[in-house]
Amino acid sequence: MKETGRQPADRDLLDIAMDMVDDQTGIRMYDDQLRALVFTFLFAGHETTGVSMSWTLYELAKYPKIQEKIRKEANEVLGDGMYPLLVDAWFKAAQTSFSGQ
């Protein structure tokens, strides 16, 4: 597949997919193909992220020393402000949820 000519900077996934043309046939995607593509990106990506985060929290809850090292590094890198509070809340939730406390 290749893209046709439109190149504005604010194009989204749907714009790009709508402009794609099959190299061999010269045909653009049908509406049902576009829906399937967008659905896959939105929901499969969301689910993958959620599963990855859950698994990470589960594994970190099993190793509190590693969890504390990651928390300290995240707080150092992210600095002052809201993000360190979110990191602390995230790790506290992991400990509570997965350790049964």
Q: 2 in helix, strand or coil?
A: strand
Number of CB atoms found within 10 A of residue 94's CB: 21
In this predicted model, what pLDDT tens digit does every residue of 45-75 receive, in sequence order?
Answer: 777 878 888 898 888 889 989 988 887 887 7
- Statement to judge: residues 71 and 100 lie in one domain: yes
Angstrom distance (rounded) from CA 19 to CA 56: 38
- Statement to judge: residues 46 and 4 lie in one domain: yes
- Statement to judge: residues 7 and 24 lie in one domain: yes
- Statement to judge: residues 34 and 14 lie in one domain: yes
The predicted pLDDT at position 81 comes to 60
- Statement to judge: residues 4 and 23 lie in one domain: yes
Q: What's at 25, amino acid-wise? A: T
Angstrom distance (rounded) from CA 72 to CA 87: 9
- Statement to judge: residues 74 and 33 lie in one domain: no
- Statement to judge: residues 48 and 70 lie in one domain: no
Angstrom distance (rounded) from CA 52 to CA 59: 11
- Statement to judge: residues 32 and 6 lie in one domain: yes
The predicted pLDDT at position 27 comes to 92
Mean pLDDT of the chain: 78
Q: How many domains does the chain have?
A: 2
Q: Indicate yes or no: pTM above 0.85.
A: no
Contact 35, 19 (CB under 8 A): no
